[in-house]
Amino acid sequence: MLLKGALLAEEKVGLKMNVPKKKLKKITGILPSLHTPTVSNLSDQEWVAVEVIIDEKTVRNIIPELKRAGAQGIVEYPLNKVIP
């Protein structure tokens, strides 16, 4: 299981960002994910944090689109294991 998780992680990256609540539907419509994005409230009631695991090959095209749609503070990070 751990070996399969490590192999799967080689093709994926994590992506997190801050999103105005009024643009959340548009942003989540852009994002592919393993299941659904994680959405967490921020201390500013008008904003949320969004986090997904996506295919590394798609991230280059998605980040500019997310920025144009209103996402800020976009962070891409590598993964060690993905256990579905």
**Residue-level pLDDT at 34:** 61
**pLDDT tens-digit profile of 31-40?**
986 678 999 9
- The mean pLDDT of 11-39, rounded to a whole number, is 91
Q: Is the pLDDT of residue 80 over 80?
A: yes
pLDDT tens, 29-63?
999 866 789 999 999 999 999 999 999 999 999 99
Give buried/exposed letters for 8-28 (b at 16+ CB in 10 A, else e): bbeebbbbbbbbbeeebeebe
Mean pLDDT of the chain: 93
Is residue 37 within 8 A of residue 50, CB to CB? The reply is yes
Q: In the structure encoding, which two tokens stand for residue 74, read together? A: 């976009």
Q: Tokens standing for 70?
A: 């209103």
Domains within the chain, CATH numbers bracketed = 2-78 (3.30.70.120)
